């Protein structure tokens, strides 16, 4: 089982808008251990639009602008649920 990759921008705009606190909260959440890999990144090709869209977070392939911890956790739960429940893989085998 591959952990869900969560990338949190800690560029200047996103850091001031709460990116750093999102990383800390995710890293401190023991329930996420093994399910989530958190990574700090720098400005995502100016996705933040000069800070208007900060903080920027990706959960798996989903890009979240103006991210809050609540929205990030909801997306993690949505993506992790099949892993937790042991959903069948593409070939129909249980995890």
Per CB under 6 A, contacts with ligand FES among 41-70 are: 43-44, 46-48, 54, 56
Name the minimum Å distance from CB 88 to ligand FES: 36
Strands across the sheet containing 4-9: 36-41, 4-9, 57-59, 62-64
**Binding segment (CB under 6 A) for ligand FES, from list 10-18, 20-28, 31-39, 67-75:** 10-18
Greatest CA separation for the chain: 46
- Please check whether residue 69 is in contact with residue 6, taking contact to mean a CB–CB distance below 8 angstroms: no
Residues lying near ligand FES in the complex (CB under 6 A) are found at: 9, 11-14, 43-44, 46-48, 54, 56
């Amino acid at each position: 089982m591959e952990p869900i990759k969560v990338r949190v921008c800690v560029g200047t705009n996103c850091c001031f808008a709460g990116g750093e606190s999102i990383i800390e909260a995710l890293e401190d959440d023991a329930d996420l251990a093994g399910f989530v890999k958190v990574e700090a990144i720098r400005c995502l090709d100016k996705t933040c639009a000069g800070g208007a869209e900060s903080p920027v977070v990706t959960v798996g392939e989903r890009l979240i602008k103006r991210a809050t911890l609540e929205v990030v956790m909801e997306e993690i739960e949505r993506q992790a649920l099949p892993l937790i429940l042991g959903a069948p893989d593409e070939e129909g085998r249980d995890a």
